[in-house]
């Protein structure tokens, strides 16, 4: 009989945007791992507890959600997102995604250009003080601007730096 290590888990209630709908639920991650680090792991699925697929439906106790199908994750305001370094450069950017336009602040290593950051983006990256525009979806299930939005770089169509 083999025993396998299972880390202590914590739940981070978040809103996940996947191909046309917001799915609120509790993302399950090891208690000592940050949310951004967890999103950038290699497992193909993320675990959600009490996920709601429609406003009028009961929460599902468990939902496995494909990581590569999630475009955006909006964590709660109190969830701290790890910064690249203590010395960073803040860039005001606009991101174009299918069905959405985001504007917010991107933190990079000091003096790194946005294009260089994007070439090395590991998967998800953080935008701070992020305003989200989604034509046809005016009522968002979280404050707009959101303190932080985690963006899947594989879902980004384009990024422009604002002056």
Answer yes or no: is 82 within a domain: no
Q: Which domain holds residue 35?
A: 9-70
Same domain for 66 and 106, yes or no, is no
Same domain for 94 and 66, yes or no, is no
Q: Does position 160 have pLDDT exceeding 60, yes or no?
A: yes
Write the DSSP assignment of the chain as a string of letters.
--------EEEEEEEEEETTEEEEEEEEEETTS-HHHHHTSS-SEEEEEEE-SSTTSPPEEEEEEEGGG--EEE--TT-----S-SSEEEEEEEEEETTEEEEEEEEEETT--HHHHHHH--SEEEEEEEEEE-TT----SS-SSEEEEEEEGGGEEEEEEE-
Domain total of the chain = 2
Answer yes or no: is 77 within a domain: no
pTM of the model: 0.92
- Give the residue from 120, 29, 108, 138 showing the smallest Cα distance to 73: 29
- Cα-Cα-Cα-Cα torsion 77, 78, 81, 83, nearest 10 degrees, comes to 100
Same domain for 98 and 155, yes or no, is yes
Answer yes or no: is 120 within a domain: yes
- CATH code for the domain in which residue 133 is found: 2.30.30.100
Same domain for 158 and 118, yes or no, is yes
- Are 126 and 54 a contacting pair, CB within 8 Å? no
Answer yes or no: is 25 within a domain: yes
Q: Lowest mean pLDDT: which of 27-31, 84-88, 158-162? A: 84-88
- Cα-Cα-Cα-Cα torsion 84, 90, 92, 97, nearest 10 degrees, comes to -10
Same domain for 36 and 95, yes or no, is no
- Are 25 and 16 a contacting pair, CB within 8 Å? yes
Answer yes or no: is 62 within a domain: yes
- Give the residue from 51, 19, 50, 15 showing the smallest Cα distance to 140: 15
Give the pLDDT confidence score for residue 74 in this predicted structure.
97
**How does pLDDT run across 96-128, given as a tens digit for each residue?**
999 999 999 999 998 899 999 999 987 999 999
């Amino acid at each position: 009989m083999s025993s396998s290590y299972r880390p202590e888990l914590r739940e981070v209630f978040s809103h996940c945007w996947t191909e046309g709908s917001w799915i609120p639920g509790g993302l399950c991650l090891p208690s000592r791992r940050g949310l951004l680090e967890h999103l950038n792991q290699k497992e193909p699925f993320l675990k959600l507890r009490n996920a709601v697929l429609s406003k009028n439906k009961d929460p599902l106790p468990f939902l496995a959600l494909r990581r590569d199908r999630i475009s955006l994750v909006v964590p709660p305001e109190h969830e701290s997102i790890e910064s690249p370094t203590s010395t960073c450069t803040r860039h005001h950017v606009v991101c174009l995604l299918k069905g959405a336009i985001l504007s917010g602040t991107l933190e990079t290593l000091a003096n790194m250009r946005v294009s260089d950051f994007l070439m090395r983006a590991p998967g998800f990256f953080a935008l701070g003080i992020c305003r989200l525009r989604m034509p046809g979806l005016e009522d968002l299930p979280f404050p707009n601007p959101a303190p932080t939005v985690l963006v899947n770089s594989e879902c980004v169509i384009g990024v422009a730096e604002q002056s």
